[in-house]
């Protein structure tokens, strides 16, 4: 039977030679893991959130269910496996087995696995904020995690390379300046999830909600409120300041720093579509 590859993952893998090569090796990697970990592998999960990894339900030798995940080469998710070890199930899915060389993870399966996005956004705010407060811990040195400034530098290089497509050069330059300034001015540095939104929080039996897909960097906790906020488009359009303030207060972080991070990302985060009027409109609405 041919290996099924979710459409968004296939599209992302076509973007670079390294990812295409990873995709070519995937069938052999899965056969190896199936044998070594005694797995019965089901069809992969598909949908809007499956874009950077091959993820499938699996049966274990003892009859229990788990999830097998292999991530494509991806800068932001480079230390996901180490992050799962650091948090050790609190409040993330547990790592049952791992192959660091393959980047393969055998994970606790959330049952029933309903995504937090099924709840109204106001309720999502509360759950996300509580989870963030539990995630934010300072890792002891030495540790493998990169500073948030490394991600900002990477994004800055990508955005600068697209200068001819910028819709508003003044806004973009202001955002790029904040990518440099905000990591330097942070007074607290904790391990961040960086991609915590309602699609990455699932119902489980062990706890009411568990986090999946962390993309760990060490830095300003105010940054970690932004990904959920970007998924609240209608509320941001209606009342950007109020929506940002609500989530910042629930998470216990500074409103102004969250607003500045939101502006910087809306103005200067790299993107394929620089004609996206929503991002430009949000940046102008909350500009410093």
Query: Which residues are annotated as catalytic?
Result: 195
Tokens 């003044």 belong to which residue? 170
Question: What whole-number distance in Å separates Cα of residue 76 and Cα of residue 111?
Answer: 27
- Structure tokens, 258: 């969250």
> Which pair of structure tokens corresponds to residue 169?
């050069």
From the list 96, 93, 90, 94, the residue with the least C-alpha distance to 135 is: 90
Angle, CA 133 vertex, CA 131 and CA 137 arms, to 5°: 115
Alpha-carbon distance of 206 to 160, in angstroms, equals: 45
The alpha-helical segments, DSSP class H, found in the chain are 7-13, 17-36, 80-87, 121-135, 148-161, 169-185, 226-230, 233-251, 255-268, 277-285
DSSP per-residue letters across 182-248: HHHH-S--EEE-S---GGGEEE-SSSSEEE-----EEE-GGGGGHHHHHT-HHHHHHHHHHHHHHHH
Instruction: Give the residue from 94, 118, 95 showing the smallest Cα distance to 206.
Output: 94
* Spatial CB neighbours of 31, under 8 Å, sequence gap ≥ 6: none
Q: Assign 26 to helix, strand or coil.
A: helix
CA distance 115 to 103: 24
- Helical pair 148-161 and 255-268, crossing angle rounded to 10 deg: 30
């Amino acid at each position: 039977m041919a290996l099924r590859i979710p459409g968004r993952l296939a599209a992302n893998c076509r973007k670079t030679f390294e990812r295409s090569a990873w995709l070519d090796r995937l069938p052999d990697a899965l056969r190896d893991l199936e044998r070594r970990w005694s797995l019965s592998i089901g069809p992969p999960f598909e949908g809007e959130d499956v874009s950077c990894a091959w993820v499938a339900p699996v049966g274990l030798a003892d009859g229990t269910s788990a999830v097998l995940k292999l991530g494509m080469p991806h800068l932001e998710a480079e230390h996901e496996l180490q992050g799962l070890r650091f948090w050790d199930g609190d409040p993330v899915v547990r790592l049952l087995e791992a192959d660091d060389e393959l980047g393969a993870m055998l994970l606790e399966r959330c049952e029933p696995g309903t995504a937090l996005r099924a709840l109204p956004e106001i309720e999502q705010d509360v759950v996300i904020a509580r989870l963030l407060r539990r995630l934010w811990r300072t890792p002891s040195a030495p540790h493998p995690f990169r500073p948030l400034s490394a991600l900002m530098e990477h994004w800055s290089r990508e955005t600068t390379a697209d200068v001819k497509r910028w819709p508003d050069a003044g806004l973009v330059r202001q955002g790029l300046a904040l990518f440099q300034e905000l990591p330097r001015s942070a007074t607290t540095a904790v391990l961040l999830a960086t991609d915590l939104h309602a699609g990455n929080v699932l119902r489980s039996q062990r706890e009411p909600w568990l986090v999946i897909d962390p993309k760990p960097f060490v830095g300003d906790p105010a940054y970690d409120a932004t990904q959920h906020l970007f998924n609240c488009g209608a509320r941001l359009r209606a009342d950007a300041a109020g929506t940002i303030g609500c989530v910042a207060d629930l998470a216990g972080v500074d409103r102004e720093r969250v607003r500045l991070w939101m502006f910087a990302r809306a103005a200067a985060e790299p993107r394929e579509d620089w004609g996206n009027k929503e991002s430009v409109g949000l940046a102008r609405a909350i500009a410093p």
